[in-house]
Amino acid sequence: MTQPSTQPPVDVIEATELRLVEEPPQQLSAEHRAARDRVWDELASNNAALFDGPVVACTSLTQTYPNELLLGWARVSYRNFALRRVPGAAALSSLFVDVLQPTDDGALLVAQMSAATAHPGRWHLPGGSVEHPDAGQPLDTASLRRNAARELREELGVDTAPENLTLWAVTRGEHGNVGVHFAAPPQPAAVLHDRFAAVVSATTAVGQAPELEQITFVHSPADLKALDGPHVDYLEPLVDRYARILL
C-alpha cells in the first residue's frame, strides 16, 4: 500500500561535533503533575509496551559554530512525555540515537516495529531513546555512540564497535525531538538478514516478542512510499540526503 507523505518539515543539521550540557528538569505545578500522571496511567493501561524508565529529554539545541552543536539535556522518566497531552503544560522533547546501516550496494536498512512496541507498524532506523547515565557520569558523544552500537546489536545482531560509528547528522522534528544519527560501515545484505533472523529466533525461543517485525532495504525516498505502514518523520529526509551523497 502506498503511503502519501504527510510529515511536517524536519530540520536536518550537519554536525561533526556535539557538546552536551546537563540542565535541571522543568519544574511542574501540582496540577500539571497530577494531569501528567493521569494521562500516563491511562496510556500505560492500554499499552503494555510503555514503561516509566529513565530517559533523556532535550532542553535546548544551539548551533554554536558551523559544524558544532550545543545540546542541553535533562534527566527525566518516560511518563514526563505524557505532558504533550496536557493542555497548557510545556511539552518535553526527546533525545534518541539511531544508525544508518548501509549495504554493500548502497542501500539503507530500515526496520518496522512489531506489535509489541509503543509504535506498532512504524518504519524507522535501528535505534532508540537515550537513557540517562548514572549520577556523576557524563553524557557525551562517546556515550551516544555506545548507546547506538548497543541498539544495533540488540535489534539487528550486528556487533559494530562504537568507535566505528560516524556522527552523520542531527535532526529536529515533531515535538522538537532531537535525533543523533550515526553511520555504520557497510555490510552485505545477506549477512544483515541472517543476523536479524537470529535475533528474532533467539527472542521468540524464550517466549518474548521481538522488537522489530521485519527489515528491508531502500535506495531512495521513492522506496519509502511503497512500504506498508507509516514511517518516522526524520526517515524520508535522511534517506534523501543519503541518496544525494551517493550520486
Q: What is the CATH number of the domain that holds 216?
A: 3.90.79.10
Task: Label residue 177 left, alpha or beta by phi (over 0 means left) and psi (-120 to 50 means alpha).
Answer: beta
DSSP-derived 3-state class of residue 239: helix
d(CA 110, CA 102): 10
Whether 5 is covered by a domain: the verdict is no
Q: Average pLDDT, whole number, for the chain?
A: 92
Q: What is the pLDDT of residues 60-96, one digit of tens each?
A: 999 998 889 999 999 999 999 999 999 999 889 999 9
pLDDT tens, residue by residue, 147-203: 999 999 999 999 999 999 999 999 999 889 999 999 999 999 999 999 999 999 999
What pLDDT, on a 0 to 100 scale, did the predictor assign at position 2? 38
At a CB cut-off of 8 Å and minimum separation 6, what does 243 contact?
A: 219, 220, 221
Which burial class, exposed, middle or buried, applies to 176 when counting CB atoms under 10 A from its CB (0-12, 13-18, 19+)? middle
Res 4: pLDDT: 45
According to the model, what pLDDT value does residue 247 have? Answer: 62
Contact 28, 41 (CB under 8 A): no
What local confidence, expressed as pLDDT, does residue 7 receive?
Answer: 53
pLDDT at residue 230 above 90? Answer: yes
Question: In this predicted model, what pLDDT tens digit does every residue of 11-59 receive, in sequence order?
Answer: 999 888 999 999 999 899 999 999 999 999 999 998 877 889 999 999 9
Render the burial of 83-106: b for 16+ CB within 10 Å, e for the rest: bbebeebeebbbbbbbbbbbbeee
Residue 137 CB-half CA count within 13 A: 10
Residue 144 resides in a domain: yes
Query: Can you give the pLDDT at residue 228?
Result: 93
Assigned domain for 122 exists:
yes
Which grid coordinates belong to 211?
522488537
Residue 137 is predicted with a pLDDT of 84
The count of domains in the chain is 1
In a domain, 6, yes or no: no
Q: Yes or no: say if 185 and 166 are a contact pair by the CB < 8 Å rule.
A: no
Phi and psi at residue 72, to the nearest 5°: -90, 140
Within a domain: residue 68?
yes
What's the confidence (pLDDT) of residue 8? 60
> What is residue 5's predicted lDDT score, i.e. its pLDDT?
46
Distance CA 160, CA 113 (A): 21
- DSSP secondary structure of 106-160: S-EEEEEE-TTSSSTT-EE-SEEEPPPPPTT----HHHHHHHHHHHHHHHH----
Provide the domain limits for residue 72: 11-246
Is 1's pLDDT higher than 50? no
For residue 129, the model assigns a pLDDT of 93
